[in-house]
């Protein structure tokens, strides 16, 4: 077997007519089946369809099943407690947690003011930061060292609006690492060196990363199309929503594809190298701007390791330079709707409808949060999934962006689904509020709030929530307000905020479906 010289080469070539051929074959098969049916068989199918529709309209008797009620929900919300720590000038938050001998460290740096090009470059910068070489090591040696001393290094960034005002933002770059406690000294040394000496001069490796990222993003559209459609629909309703569209939404996919095509530059290696050299220089400029940012640290481990981690913090981080003057990230304010069709190679559609509402600190945020679950369970699932044929549908309040969003997933329809989104609001006002469905919606929201995580995960969640103003006290107050939502609250907030004239629409579809839709849509390709 080791010396077997026989080979088979299988070559796959894409056919841009494949979908049309499949549709034509299916239509021909259905026509042939229909031609063979007798009048009695056709009538039987009609009757069967009517019976299915009648069954879908029936209300199931849920009382047959055991259930959890609001009386079973504990009143208290348990969150881990942070301890402020310092190692010289280096400050952070310590969480004692049962981590089975692992230590977790995150360096959290304030994001500086970024222009639009730098904002779009942030995802690639964060990805490259731990995937390229560092100091004198190339990327292969650096990844080998990462594997030797840690359970993994990564860089990411997070931007959110203020709890009381979605137009006011703050953002951070987060360099994360974890290791066995015995390796925590080496972990911190490597993380500090990565922040200070990450190198962006390995052009072939950067080209690989750009190509891989572009392919991964393009292939993800049909898997997360509903999330992308919601991002697009809400993109102009808040600064963070617009930033998200630029860095991880459909615009980010456009940008990644364009960059990959520039670098590929078939037949023109010199042009590709010029693009790569320019990209490398831009990454270096961004790195130099970010690495001097004000910073703080999140440390999670068992109590026995606290002093050793603080000593290492002092050893490896205290001497790194920090800018004496700093302009923190600010994003342009925005609050306007869009009406967009995003065209791609998909056989199904993803529809989203968004309304501007209120941020999480507002008194109506709790009712809007419960409203999403109530509409999904009471109307949207039946109308869009069971009757409309979509794989899924739902609605929900985004308290960070102050937006209420409807969505459908892998949907054969567009206009019918958008009509059903609006129909759910009519149904809400015309039908008496079902107290059992309301209780189920509240329980669904509370279960997502109370969902247990790992000890380290709960600590990270608490730290970053507090970082953006969502303190444990405010989170507990929000949970209590969820439990107090009434049917009258749902009717009131729906009438106050979900007004058709304020709506924003985004649909991911294909060119053929787009031809049959309203000409007033802005058409974009991804």
Place 267 in a pLDDT band, splitting at 50, 70 and 90: low
> Is a pLDDT exceeding 60 seen at residue 232?
yes
Place 266 in a pLDDT band, splitting at 50, 70 and 90: low
Q: For 275-316, write each residue's pLDDT tens digit.
A: 999 999 999 999 999 999 999 999 999 999 999 999 999 999
Among 268, 292, 317, give the residue marking a domain's end.
Answer: 317
pTM above 0.85, yes or no: yes
Does 358 lie in the same domain as 274?
Answer: no
Mean pLDDT to the nearest integer, 328-339: 96
Mean pLDDT to the nearest integer, 251-257: 96
Does 358 lie in the same domain as 312?
Answer: no
> Is a pLDDT exceeding 60 seen at residue 274?
yes
On whether residue 207 sits in a domain, the answer given is: yes
Does 459 lie in the same domain as 413?
Answer: yes
Mean pLDDT to the nearest integer, 166-183: 97
Cα gap 232→407, rounded to integer Å: 11
Cα gap 222→510, rounded to integer Å: 12
Does 367 lie in the same domain as 481?
Answer: yes
On whether residue 30 sits in a domain, the answer given is: no
Q: For 87-135, write each residue's pLDDT tens digit.
A: 888 999 999 999 999 999 999 999 999 999 999 999 999 999 999 999 9
Secondary structure (DSSP) of 111-166? -B---HHHHHHHHHHHHHHTTS-BTTB-HHHHHHHHHHH-S-EEEEEEEEE-SS-T
Mean pLDDT, the chain, whole residue set: 95
Do residues 198 and 320 touch, judged by C-beta distance below 8 A? no
Of the ranges 14-28, 71-85, 256-270, 468-482, which one carries the lowest mean pLDDT score? 256-270
On whether residue 65 sits in a domain, the answer given is: no
Place 270 in a pLDDT band, splitting at 50, 70 and 90: confident
Do residues 153 and 175 touch, judged by C-beta distance below 8 A? yes
**Closest-CA residue to 420 (of 388, 372, 464):** 388
Does 250 lie in the same domain as 274?
Answer: yes
On whether residue 394 sits in a domain, the answer given is: yes
CATH number at residue 210: 3.30.830.10
Do residues 510 and 346 touch, judged by C-beta distance below 8 A? yes
On whether residue 7 sits in a domain, the answer given is: no
Do residues 393 and 372 touch, judged by C-beta distance below 8 A? no
pLDDT: which is higher, 18 or 238: 238
- Number of domains forming the structure of the chain: 2
Q: How far is CA 318 from CA 110, 189, 291, 307, in A?
A: 17, 12, 13, 16
Does 418 lie in the same domain as 278?
Answer: no
Does 340 lie in the same domain as 301?
Answer: no
What pairing do the DSSP bridges indicate for beta strands 295-301 and 522-525?
Answer: unpaired
Among 258, 286, 317, give the residue marking a domain's end.
Answer: 317
Q: For 359-416, write each residue's pLDDT tens digit.
A: 999 999 999 999 999 999 999 999 999 999 999 999 999 999 999 999 999 999 999 9
Q: For 505-514, write each residue's pLDDT tens digit.
A: 999 999 999 9
Output the pLDDT for position 330.
Answer: 95
Does 445 lie in the same domain as 494?
Answer: yes
| Domain around 402 | 333-525
On whether residue 404 sits in a domain, the answer given is: yes
On whether residue 361 sits in a domain, the answer given is: yes
On whether residue 370 sits in a domain, the answer given is: yes
Does 343 lie in the same domain as 310?
Answer: no
């Amino acid at each position: 077997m080791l010396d077997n010289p026989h080979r088979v080469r299988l070559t796959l070539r894409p056919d841009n007519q494949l979908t049309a051929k499949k549709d034509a074959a299916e239509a021909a098969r259905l026509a042939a089946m229909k031609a063979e049916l007798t009048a009695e068989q056709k009538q039987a199918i009609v009757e069967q369809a009517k019976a299915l529709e009648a069954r879908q309209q029936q209300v199931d008797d849920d009382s047959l099943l055991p259930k959890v009620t609001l009386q079973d929900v504990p009143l208290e919300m348990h969150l881990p407690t942070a301890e402020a720590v310092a190692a010289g000038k280096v400050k952070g938050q310590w969480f004692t947690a049962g981590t089975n001998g692992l230590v977790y460290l995150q360096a959290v740096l304030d994001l500086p003011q970024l222009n639009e090009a730098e904002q779009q470059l942030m995802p690639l910068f964060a990805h490259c930061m731990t995937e390229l070489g560092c100091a004198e090591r190339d990327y292969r040696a650096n990844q080998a060292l990462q594997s030797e001393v840690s359970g993994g290094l990564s860089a990411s960034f997070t931007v959110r609006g203020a709890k009381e005002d979605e137009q006011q933002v703050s953002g951070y770059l987060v360099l994360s690492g974890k290791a066995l406690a015995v390796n925590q000294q080496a972990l911190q040394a490597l993380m500090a060196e990565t922040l200070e000496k990450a190198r962006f001069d390995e052009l072939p490796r950067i080209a690989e990363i750009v190509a891989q990222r572009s392919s991964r993003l393009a292939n993800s559209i049909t898997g997360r199309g509903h999330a992308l459609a919601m991002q697009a629909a809400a993109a102009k309703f808040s600064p963070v929503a617009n930033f998200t569209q630029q860095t991880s939404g459909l615009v980010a996919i456009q940008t990644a594809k364009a960059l990959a095509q520039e670098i590929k530059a078939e037949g023109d290696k010199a042009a590709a190298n010029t693009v790569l050299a320019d990209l490398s220089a831009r990454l270096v400029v961004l790195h130099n701007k970010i690495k001097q940012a004000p910073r703080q640290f999140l440390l999670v481990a068992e109590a026995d390791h606290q002093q050793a981690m603080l000593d290492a913090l002092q050893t490896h981080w205290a001497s790194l330079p920090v800018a004496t003057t700093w302009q923190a990230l600010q994003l342009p304010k925005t609050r306007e709707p869009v009406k967009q069709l995003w065209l791609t190679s998909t056989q199904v559609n993803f529809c989203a409808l968004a309304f501007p509402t209120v941020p999480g600190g507002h008194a109506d945020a709790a009712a809007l949060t419960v409203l999403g679950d109530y509409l999904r369970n009471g109307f949207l699932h039946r109308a869009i999934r069971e009757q409309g044929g979509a794989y899924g549908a739902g609605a929900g309040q985004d308290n960070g962006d102050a937006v209420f969003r409807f969505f459908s997933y892998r949907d054969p329809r567009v206009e019918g689904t958008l009509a059903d989104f609006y129909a759910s609001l009519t149904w809400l006002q015309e039908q008496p509020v079902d107290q059992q469905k309301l209780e189920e919606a509240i329980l669904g929201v509370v279960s997502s709030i109370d969902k247990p995580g790992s000890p380290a995960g709960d600590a990270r969640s608490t730290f970053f929530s507090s970082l953006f103003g969502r303190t444990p006290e405010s989170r507990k107050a929000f949970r209590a307000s969820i439990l107090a939502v009434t049917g009258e609250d749902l009717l009131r907030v729906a009438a106050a905020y979900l007004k058709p004239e304020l709506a924003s629409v985004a649909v991911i579809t294909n060119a053929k479906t787009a031809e049959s839709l309203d000409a007033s849509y802005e058409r974009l390709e991804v």
